[in-house]
Every structure is written in C-alpha cells, then in structure tokens.
Amino acid sequence: MSTYKSLTDLEIFVLMQEGDKFAFEEIYERFNGLLYIYACKMVSNREDARDIVQEIFVYLWSNPNIQIKTQLSSYLYTAVRYKVFDWLDKNKSRSNYLQSLTDFAEKGDYVTDNYIREREFASLIEKEVSLLPPKMRLIFEMSRQQHLTQKQIAEILQLSDKTVKKQMSNALKVLRLKLTSFLLLAVIVLIR
C-alpha cells in the first residue's frame, strides 16, 4: 500500500499496534533486509541470522503493547543484538564469533560505511555494559536506557543517592577504559 510508505516509522508502528496488518507488512519491508544484514555481521550462518530476524518480527507482531522510548529502528537493532547474544549463549559459539571477527580484520575487508561502524560500536558498548557487575549494570541501564535520574534510581532500588552516583561513576570509568582500549586497537589496525 503506497499510503503506508509515506508514513513515519512512529506512525506506522502505532497503526501496527492497533492491529493493522498492512502497517506490520510495511515495517517488515522497511527493516527486514537491514536487520538481516546486521545479524549476518554477527552470526556466520545465514539461516541462523534469518531466524533471529524472523523471531524479532514475530515478537513485534505478537506483542502490541510494546513501549518504544527511542526510534523504532534503534529498538529493532537492539532487539536483534540481544537475540544474537542469546543465540551465542545457547550455541556456545562465542569463540567462532571472535574468530570470524579476527579473520575479518586480518583479511582487510574493512567496511567503510559509517552507519555500520556506529552500530558495531553500539554493540560493543552493549556487550561491555553486560559485563559490568550486576548492581552497577542495573543502575547504569536504569540511567541510560530508562532515562531515570539518580534520585529516581535511588528510590526504586532503596539506595542512597551517593551510592547510585558512585556506581554510575564507576560504570563510566570501566566503560571508558575498555572502550578507549578498543578505539586504540582499531586505530592501530587502520594504520597498518
């Protein structure tokens, strides 16, 4: 339907939540290919990548009460990333994933598209956040993903404002250190 093509992602998403099948089909058309390419970058098996993306769309259609606080595209890319991490955990193939990244870097098959690099960096950040200690990670995610203030987080978790502030500060220090190392490594690889 050509009328759907002119709608924004948010408008089409609202129609889909109201049960509009054509709106869902438009979302599928807009994002299926991009999400599949994104999943293929993280999963070597194309069928697995296709299954991961299909699971995201099934979930999207089956749960009309999803609340999206960012853009629809950000939500979908994040959903794919989390689904890939689940897949990696289930298949115990992290070493294969790391090997494929190593092969990718050694072959010099660099992707110059800024959008893809930005997404990969966002994925790295998500991975590093997932490695934070549980309490620190929870506070960090409440602040960055749910956009809660330190005071709100302190009230919800029944902690002092000072504790929340210290945990946030520690999380940012850890992430800065790890991500700085990654960026230095990336620059060294690019210089070669």
1-93 topology per CATH: Rna Polymerase Sigma Factor; Chain: A (1.10.1740)
pLDDT the model gives residue 123 = 76
Distance CA 95, CA 105 (A): 15
Digits of tens for pLDDT over the chain (192 positions)? 568 888 888 899 999 999 999 999 999 999 999 899 989 888 888 998 999 999 999 999 988 888 888 888 888 988 998 888 888 777 655 556 666 666 655 554 444 445 566 667 777 778 888 888 888 888 888 888 778 888 998 888 898 999 999 998 888 888 788 777 666 665 565 555
pLDDT the model gives residue 25 = 92
In the numeric block, which tokens belong to residue 100? 């494929």
Sequential DSSP letters for 160-178:
-HHHHHHHHHHHHHHHHHH
Domain range annotation of the chain? 1-93, 110-192
**Half-sphere exposure in the Cβ direction for 177 (13 Å, CA):** 7
110-192 topology per CATH: Arc Repressor Mutant, subunit A (1.10.10)
pLDDT the model gives residue 111 = 43
